[in-house]
Each structure stands twice: as C-alpha cells, then as structure tokens.
Amino acid sequence: MVHLDALKLNSCRAAAFGAMAIGAVAFSGSAAASPLPLFPFILTPPAQSAPPQVQAAPPEQEHGAFEMPARLKRQVVSYPTHEAPGTIIIDTPNTYLYYVIGGGQAIRYGIGVGRDGFTWSGTQSITRKAEWPDWTPPPEMIARQPYLPRYMAGGPGNPLGARAMYLGGTVYRIHGTNAPETIGTHVSSGCIRLTNADVSDLYARVNVGTKVIVLPMDRHAENPAGKRS
C-alpha cells in the first residue's frame, strides 16, 4: 500500500515538473519574440515615424536678359559730316548718339532722351568725367519728384549707371543706366542715357573738352546742315 502511494506521488511530481517545463519553454519563446523591459515601471515613449521629406521650393523664374533692338545696338555707320573726328552729335528725335570717327563714318549708339517738355538743344563740351558717379538730384528735380533721394552713392543701383560725362555748366550729363529697356525712349529729365556697356565704350573714347552737339526735335543728324527732313 505504501509502495502504491509513493508511485502515485512520483507520478504527480513528474506531471507537475512537465507542466512547468512546457510553461518555461512557452514563456522563453514569447520573451524572445517580445523581450520584457528591464524596468517596467519606466514608461518608454512610443516610437515615432520619420517626418515626410519637405520638398524644396522651385526656384523663381529668372527674367531673360533684355534684347536690344538691332537699330539701337552700337555699330559703325555711314555718316558724312563737316564736324571733326571726336565730336559727339545727339540726334534727339531718332534717339541716336553719333561719335564721329572721320572718313564719312561714325559710331552710332542707341540712347534715351528727355521726355516731352524736357528736351533741349545746343552745343556744349564735356567738362568732367566720372566712373560709377554719385547722384545728387538738382533742386528742380526734387521739386517735381519730392520722393527722390537727396543723394545716392555710385554703384550698380545708381540711375547714372557705370559712367557719366558732364556737359558744360548745365545739370545735364551723358550717362549710363540700370534700366536698358528705356533706351530708344523719351523718358529722362533731359540727360542722355546709354546702356552701361555703351557708355563705358564712349567714355574710353572721349576726353574733357570734347564737343557735344545736341540737335532739337525738328532736326535730324542725317541733315547736319540744318535742312528740314
């Protein structure tokens, strides 16, 4: 009887041990798949997915370079005149500047001239030359346009552009411009403007004392003798 009870007790122990072994195996498998935290009382923030990549804004479309009309581009043309080589003649109505080179020829530049009511004519000479000139608008211009600056240092943003040639004791100049699209128009307050490239070319050719003839609106440089066209 005692032997039978011992056998039953050993069977129960074996079953219990087997159950524990199976449980341990199952637990170890789940732990391997999802390990328990070392310190379960410390809350770990949930993993965040990477933010979507932000696309760069497309570059702004660049404005194309201004294309000067062919007639306003600097060029050597036939130009018979009695004026001496080195003379400048301003053809106001046709918006041309002629630099006489002799032999019946001249270099012709496209220019911008005075708007209606601001054209002028006469003979002057270049009294001063300046590279990247400063700009001090005269009192008459300030009176008409009080929003203008009283002074602007020379540079690419200056409306006088890269070069300036001052005419006699007047307020007028032959100068460059940072607005090449105004060449060929009547837009200024009386000054003669060229592109920065053209005014730099002209500047290198002339000297202080160069004669400058500004023709009125009713005369053309093709008729230097003064005949009406």
Cβ pair 72, 110 in contact under 8 A: yes
Neighbouring-strand partners of residue 172: none
Catalytic residue among 12, 175, 186, 220: 175
Residue 175 phi/psi, 5° resolution? -145, 175
Active site residue 191: yes
Cβ pair 160, 179 in contact under 8 A: no
In angstroms, what CA-CA distances link 218 with 88, 110, 228?
18, 18, 7
Active site residue 82: no
Catalytic residue among 63, 82, 191, 220: 191
The set of long-range contacts for 141-147, using a CB threshold of 8 Å and a minimum separation of 24, is 141/189, 144/189
d(CA 101, CA 83): 10
d(CA 74, CA 77): 9
How crowded is residue 114: how many other Cβ atoms within 10 Å of its Cβ?
19
Cβ pair 89, 224 in contact under 8 A: yes
Q: Which residues are catalytic?
A: 175, 191
